[in-house]
Structure 1
């Protein structure tokens, strides 16, 4: 999958998880809120990893 598409999909998933997490939290669903938080953090970590790889590529001249 193209990197920009993957990044866009991860940002979309992150936004949806944030919204669903708030709904679960407001309904008092503690375990579900926790599990959604873990998925949100995983999406965030993957986004950061993609950005770090882009920064490394640019610094080493591979991004040209």
Structure 2
């Protein structure tokens, strides 16, 4: 997989996880909210690591 499509996939997953977390939180699902938050943070870390490994100066949207 090319790095650019890998980054795009990570950013897509990050955005979807954020939306699902917000929905779970609004529904009062505390455990699910927590698990989705952990997955969101992992995706965010991977996005940042991908940017850092490329040596990009601009910060990712996280």
Give the TM-score, by structure 1 length. 0.84
| Unpaired segments ≥5 residues, structure 1 | 59-64
Instruction: Provide the aligned length of Structure 1 versus Structure 2.
Output: 56
Following TM superposition, the consecutive aligned residue runs of length 4 or more in structure 1 with deviations greater than 6 angstroms are: none
Which digits, 9 at most, give the CA deviation of each residue in 1:14-60, with x for residues without a partner? 110111101000000000000000000000000000111111xx7xx
Structure 2: 5+ residue runs without aligned partners?
57-62
TM-score after normalising by structure 2 = 0.87
Query: Computing the radius of gyration over CA atoms, which structure comes out larger, 1 or 2?
Result: 1
Larger helix proportion of the pair: 1
CA RMSD of aligned residues (A): 1.0
